[in-house]
Amino acid sequence: MTDFRVQQEQLWNQWAAHYNEEHQARDPAPAADFLASLADGGTALELAVGTGRIALALADRGVKVTGLDTSPAMLEELHRHRGGRPVETQLGDMAELDTGGQRFPLIYVAFSSFFFLMTQQRQAACLARVTRTLTPGGRFVIEATVPRAPGLLAGRQQLAIRDLTDTHLALSAHTHNPIDQTIHFQEIRFDQSGTRLLPVTLRYVHLSELDLLAAAAGLTLTDQYADWHHTPLDVTSTQHISVYTPTGEPA
Ligand SMILES: C[S@@+](CC[C@H](N)C(=O)[O-])C[C@H]1O[C@@H](n2cnc3c(N)ncnc32)[C@H](O)[C@@H]1O
């Protein structure tokens, strides 16, 4: 049986040295502004914190952030860029979130990282632990792709050109299994120094399924947006930012 935590650790260890360069166009400021406004009491927990793209920007806004991740190499990158910022890290699996009794007014998981839990069971387990780790009235924020066709889900296989110059070619290849809602990617880079493979594997969750999983974990949806600027979600949205709060007992 696949150990999904180990699988993700191995994949993201391969990304670590390249992650910040690959995602340098993604400005973390809107996410950090959005999250800082919810971090009542000044602490936050990021699940799947990675290299700290958002956590470091949130810390710059005066929030003390704890970041959980399963990849030691990604966390090493975070520490290399942390400077004196108040960001602590914990190595672990978000399906088995355990903060030793510490609770947070804000827990968030960004950039579709909730999908890296890989099974519905692990996604449900994560949400149950989130509920237990929030302070009463706290907020859980999830940023994720809206699964939709045409696009990633349109076919069983796709190959796309991401970037093409005289010296560089970036391709993205993926296979899609609509039965278990999994997508396996390779981001492929060719340049004069050689070839690089950057793998991603995920289980996407439809919005209605997420609401149901959240309700089962004792979380209720309070707000939903299309982006970190609070743009209302509509049928054209490709991402969603969903905000949940604990309702008491799991359903
Ligand atoms: C796309 S990166 C996102 C990093 C960061 N949140 C950002 O927005 O740039 C996904 C991260 O999820 C982490 N991850 C995957 N599965 C995990 C799990 N089960 N528990 C904790 N972290 C996990 C990976 O190690 C990786 O650092």
Q: Which domain holds residue 181?
A: 157-202
Instruction: Looking at the structure, tell me whether residues 90 and 170 fall in a common domain.
Output: no
pLDDT in tens, 66-112: 999 999 999 999 999 999 999 999 999 999 999 999 999 999 999 99
- In this structure, the residue with its CA closest to atom 6 of ligand 1 is 49
User: Who's near 1: CB < 8 A, 6+ residues apart?
Assistant: none
Looking at 37-174, list the stretches that DSSP marks H as alpha helix, in order from N- to C-terminal side. 53-59, 72-81, 120-133
- Cα 58 from Cα 64, distance rounded (Å): 8
Confidence at 149, pLDDT banded by 50, 70, 90: low
Pocket of ligand 1 (CB under 6 A): 5, 8, 12, 48-50, 53-54, 68-71, 74, 93-95, 110-111, 113, 116-117
Instruction: Looking at the structure, tell me whether residues 172 and 119 fall in a common domain.
Output: no
Residue reference for tokens 């000044």 = 42
194: domain CATH number is 2.20.25.570
Residues 89, 65 contacting (CB under 8 angstroms): no
> How large is the average pLDDT for residues 47-60?
98
Instruction: Looking at the structure, tell me whether residues 99 and 11 fall in a common domain.
Output: yes
- Cα 18 from Cα 11, distance rounded (Å): 12
- Cα 234 from Cα 251, distance rounded (Å): 28
Instruction: Looking at the structure, tell me whether residues 165 and 79 fall in a common domain.
Output: no
Q: What is the pLDDT of residue 154?
A: 65
pLDDT in tens, 120-133: 999 999 999 999 99
Instruction: Looking at the structure, tell me whether residues 231 and 127 fall in a common domain.
Output: yes
Distance (angstroms) between ligand 1 centre and the Cα of 162 equals: 22
- Cα 50 from Cα 116, distance rounded (Å): 12
Residue 128 maps to a domain: yes
The ligand 1 atom nearest the CA atom of 13: 25
> How large is the average pLDDT for residues 171-191?
93
Instruction: Looking at the structure, tell me whether residues 190 and 118 fall in a common domain.
Output: no
Confidence at 47, pLDDT banded by 50, 70, 90: very high
Instruction: Looking at the structure, tell me whether residues 109 and 69 fall in a common domain.
Output: yes
Would you state the structure tokens that stand for residue 162, as one six-digit string? Answer: 């991401």
Would you state the structure tokens that stand for residue 232, as one six-digit string? Answer: 């209302």
- Cα 109 from Cα 140, distance rounded (Å): 8
Asked whether the predicted pLDDT for residue 251 surpasses 70, the reply is no
pTM of the model: 0.95
Q: What domain count does the chain have?
A: 2
